[in-house]
Amino acid sequence: MYLGIDIGSSSSKVAILNARKELAATDVVNMGTGTAGPKAALENALRAAGAAREDIKYIVATGYGRINFGEADQQITEISCHAKGVSHLMKDVETVIDIGGQDAKVIKIGKDGKVKNFVMNEKCAAGTGRFLEVMARVLGCRIEELSDLAERSVHDIPISSVCTVFAESEVISRLASGAAREDVAKGAHNAIAKRIMGMCSRVGYEPLLAMTGGVALNRNMVKLMGIELGQPVIAAPYPQAVGAIGAAVFAYEKSERAAERAAEA
Amino acid sequence: MENKITSKQMLADLLDSHYRSALEAKAAGKIVAWATSICPQELLETLDIDVVYPENHAAAIGARKHASEFIEQAEGTGYSSDICSYARVNLGYADIRHSEAGDIPMPDLIFCCSNICNTVIKWYENLAKTLKIPLILFDMPFNHTFEIPEHSVAYMRGQIDHAICKLEEITKKRFDYDKFGEVMELSNQTCEWWKKATDLAKAEPSPLNGFDMFNYMAIIVCMRGKKEGREVFRLWHDELKEKADLGIGPWKDREEKYRVMWDGIACWPHLSVTYKTLKKYGINMVTSTYPESWNILYEKNDRNGMAAAYSANYANRNLDYGTGNVIKLVRDFRLDGIIYHSNRSCKLMDFRQYEVQRRIEAATGVPSVIFDGDQTDPRVFSEAQYETRIQALLEMMENNKAERQEQCKNSKRA
Ligand code: SF4
């Protein structure tokens, strides 16, 4: 079996593939690098796959915490792993929009799931999951409720700030002047969609587009992204674990290649 | 046996003596000027005026990790944190007047040429005003057309002649036009040797590790009009040529696997980590836009040519020129990738970076990454973000290489 682990700043994700390159298990733990998260996700996934540590032939680590994960055979960036993961799950996708807790990236996929080109958010948390977390807090709801809240919106209220800190005060003053929570929630979603749209244009996006990362669990965000782009956008299956799945695919390929090379020798 | 001095030793000695002699000149009551990095220093050199370059001094302060003190001072007096950090370091230094990283004498004259950016105008004006000293400003509007328009050259020519009169007044000396000719000739030769040396990185493997170029840059900034400047580059050239002829690469302990260009200024406070991250993957920075920046060439005694050369400075030219130049670098240096430093300080360089990146990609297909940083402000850089971007670039370059090898194999089979 082959294992991919994606260690982010606030969560750890693990995926395991069996010998036929099929997904045997995934697990997501909401604790990131420097915590017990990676180990917990690893153990959960092994249990779900009915496997023991010795059954794992190869491990690829990715994500922000990849460097500190001693058990990996190799480290590969989350950019390559997302491209790989998406192309494993959805063959026809050419552009990936990944919005995680701390960063957002748009990746153009080439042949065999290789990265053709990518852009990542620079400098700040604008257009990331953190932005939505802050908005949910100001609107007094849980992050999971934000999507439904926005869907009930009847008026468009633009949130013009892209900076998370500015947007927070902008939202507070909107609410104070009587704006509906639903409309503000939708405005926040649109602000992200617009920001990501800029990144998509920079990378030169092509259909089909898929969304990954925690924010892809937000149905309304996926829908608004599609409206903004004027293209259908689909949420990837297991959106949070796509990086880990890509890492597991790499683990499979690396280990196969090593075996081939050994056979040749 | 006679010990031959290396260009690296010479570089260190020269920089030392450059700053020391400026301090001595000041102590002896001579005039000292502060000047921008790509200004017509020929005029100052002709009149024997000692010059220090705040950009170079700020870079040195940044590299020795002393920038914060000066940045905080400047911000404390009201300068915005959005202003170029070279400016903030220097404006802070003008108040504090001492740094562990080395001192410079305070100026009696400010000499500013806006062919590198607009920031320098207000920065230098403020210095002149607070220190109550004269300012000689060369106003060089941006060239929006590909060719340098005649009026731009005429405007600069007029300013050169005007500056000569002003300098005669300030120094109370006659301007010696014969000496001027000699300095012109020498400055051109220094630029030629700088270009010839940096061009040797076209060899594969490159004998030059581009982070060394960042160090040698201090001399092209500070000593362009001096014999010693020319000699350092000639010696450096000969050393690199010898290495290239023997097929020696940039490092003793590692092979050059990939060749990249670095767009923008170094990240001085994080120089070591930015360098080591590349080296660990065998990525050698073989060139940047800097060799072109000091390619200031004109005929001796041709003041119009001199005016054209200064207005044609790389940073002062339009997008088509900039992209054309980078495309040429990609081909001439056989680059595998490009690293763009999105430098919070330098609006001029960043403003067009996305578009440059897009055009270069379309024209050459070479992969690239952008990382956030700053030339001297240590706060605007994340090691983990840098590492991820460089590793992603590496993965793209690996894929390309593998594809090329595959194609090669297939065509051989066919
Ligand atoms: S770094 Fe940029 S903004 Fe600062 S002085 Fe140089 S050219 Fe001007």
CATH of the domain at A187: 3.30.420.40
A131 and A12 in a single domain? The answer is: no
CB B18 within 8 A of CB B229: no
Query: B387 to chain A: which residues are within 8 Å by CB?
Result: 67
Cα B156 → chain centroid:
22
As given in the structure block, the two tokens for residue B150 are: 């005649």
Round to whole Å and give the CA distance between A152 and A165: 25
**In ligand 1, which atom is closest to the CA atom of B84?**
4
Q: How far, in Å, are A251, B17, B20, B197 from residue B10 at the CA level?
A: 51, 10, 15, 15
- Cβ(B118)–Cβ(B81) below 8 Å: no
Binary contact (B391, A123; C-beta < 8 A):
no
Interface test with A, best of B395, B400, B403, B404 (most A CBs within 10 A): B395
Number of H helices, E strands in chain A: 8, 10
State how beta strands B32-35 and A115-120 pair: unpaired
Question: Distance, in angstroms, between B367 CA and closest chain A CA?
Answer: 7
Nearest-angstrom CA–CA distance, B195 and B233: 9
The per-residue pLDDT for B1 is 46
Question: Do residues B181 and B300 make contact, with C-beta atoms less than 8 angstroms apart?
Answer: yes
**Measured in angstroms, how far is the CA atom of residue B120 from the centroid of ligand 1?**
7
Domain ranges of chain B: 7-413
Q: Which atom of ligand 1 is nearest to the CA of B36?
A: 5
Q: A61 lies in which domain range?
A: 2-85+241-264
A205 and A257 together in one domain: no
Residues of A in contact with B344 (CB under 8 A): 123
Same domain, A257 and A137: no
Within 8 A of A69 by CB-CB distance, chain B residues are none
Residue B223 burial (10 A CB sphere; 0-12, 13-18, 19+)? buried
Give me ligand 1 centre to Cα B115, in Å.
Answer: 10
CA distance A44 to A37: 10
Residues A58 and A156 in one domain: no
Structural domain count of chain A:
2
Residue to mutate, B38, B71, B86, ligand 1, most ligand atoms under 8 Å from C-beta: B86
CA A145 to CA A137: how far, in whole Å? 11
Radius of gyration of chain A (CA): 19
Q: Are residues A174 and A133 in the same domain?
A: yes
List, for chain A, all residue ranges whose pLDDT scores fall below the cut of 50: none
pLDDT of residue B51: 97
Q: Quick check: bond before B205 cis, omega within 30? A: yes
Ligand 1 pocket mutation pick from B38, B79, B83, B117 by most atoms within 8 angstroms of CB: B117
Cα B317 → chain centroid:
16
Q: What is the DSSP letter of A61?
A: E
| Residues A65 and A182 occupy one common structural domain | no
A75-111 b/e (C-beta count within 10 Å ≥ 16 → b): bbbbbbbbbbbbbbbbeebbbbbbbbbbbbbbbbbbe
Co-location of A75 and A134 in the same domain: no
For each of chain B's 414 residues, which pLDDT tens digit applies? Answer: 456 889 999 999 999 999 999 999 999 999 999 999 999 999 999 999 999 999 999 999 999 999 999 999 999 999 999 999 999 999 999 999 999 999 999 999 999 999 999 999 999 999 999 999 999 999 999 999 999 999 999 999 999 999 999 999 999 999 999 999 999 999 999 999 999 999 999 999 999 999 999 999 999 999 999 999 999 999 999 999 999 999 999 999 999 999 999 999 999 999 999 999 999 999 999 999 888 888 899 999 999 999 999 999 989 999 999 999 999 999 999 999 999 999 999 988 888 999 999 999 999 999 999 999 999 999 889 898 899 999 999 999 999 999 898 888 888 877
A219 and A195 both lie in a single domain: yes
Gyration radius (Cα) of chain B, Å: 22
- Strand order of the β-sheet with B109-113 is B50-52, B32-35, B109-113, B135-138
Q: Which two tokens stand for residue A100?
A: 């995680």
Q: How many CB atoms lie within 10 A of CB B256?
A: 18
- The C-alpha angle with vertex B188 and arms to B219 and B158, in degrees rounded to 5, equals 105
Query: Ligand 1 within 6 A of B53 CB?
Result: no
- Verify whether the Cβ–Cβ distance A77 to B342 is below 8 Å: no
Q: Are residues A52 and A106 in the same domain?
A: no
Interface test with B, best of A6, A69, A121, A123 (most B CBs within 10 A): A123
- Residue B340 and residue B352 in contact, taking contact as beta carbons nearer than 8 Å: no
Report the b/e string of B362-385 with b at 16+ CB within 10 A: eebebbbbbbbbbbbbbebbeeeb
CB contact set of B4 (below 8 Å; sequence gap of 6+) = none
Residue B81, token pair as written in the block? 């944190």
Residues A106, A232 share a domain? yes
For B391, other C-beta atoms within 10 Å of its C-beta total 21
Residue of B nearest to A122 (CA): B372
Residues A135 and A198 occupy one common structural domain: yes
Same domain, A164 and A209: yes
Contact A254, A19 (CB under 8 A): no
Q: What secondary structure, in 3-state letters, does chain B show?
A: CCCCCCHHHHHHHHHHHHHHHHHHHHHCCCCEEEECCCCCCHHHHHCCCEEECHHHHHHHHHHCCCHHHHHHHHHHCCCCCCCCHHHHHHHHHHHHCCCCCCCCCCCCEEEEECCCCCHHHHHHHHHHHHHCCCEEEECCCCCCCCCCCHHHHHHHHHHHHHHHHHHHHHHCCCCCHHHHHHHHHHHHHHHHHHHHHHHHHHCCCCCCCHHHHHHHHHHHHHCCCCHHHHHHHHHHHHHHHHHHHCCCCCCCCCCCCEEEEEECCCCHHHHHHHHHHHHHCCEEEEEECHHHHCCCCCCCCCHHHHHHHHHCCHHHCCHHHHHHHHHHHHHHCCCCEEEEEEECCCHHHHHCHHHHHHHHHHHHCCCEEEEEECCCCCCCCCHHHHHHHHHHHHHHHHHHHHHHHHHHHHHHHC
**Residues of B with Cβ-Cβ distance to A67 under 8 angstroms:** 384, 387
The pLDDT assigned to A156 comes to: 84
Specify the DSSP class assigned to residue A111.
Answer: G
Q: Whose CA is nearest to atom 3 of ligand 1?
A: B346
Instruction: Name the closest-CA residue to atom 5, ligand 1.
Output: B120
What pLDDT shows up at residue A197? 92
A106 beta partners: A97, A119
Q: Which helix (H) or strand (E) is A184 found in, with range?
A: helix A181-203
Ligand 1 neighbour B159 (Cβ under 6 A): no
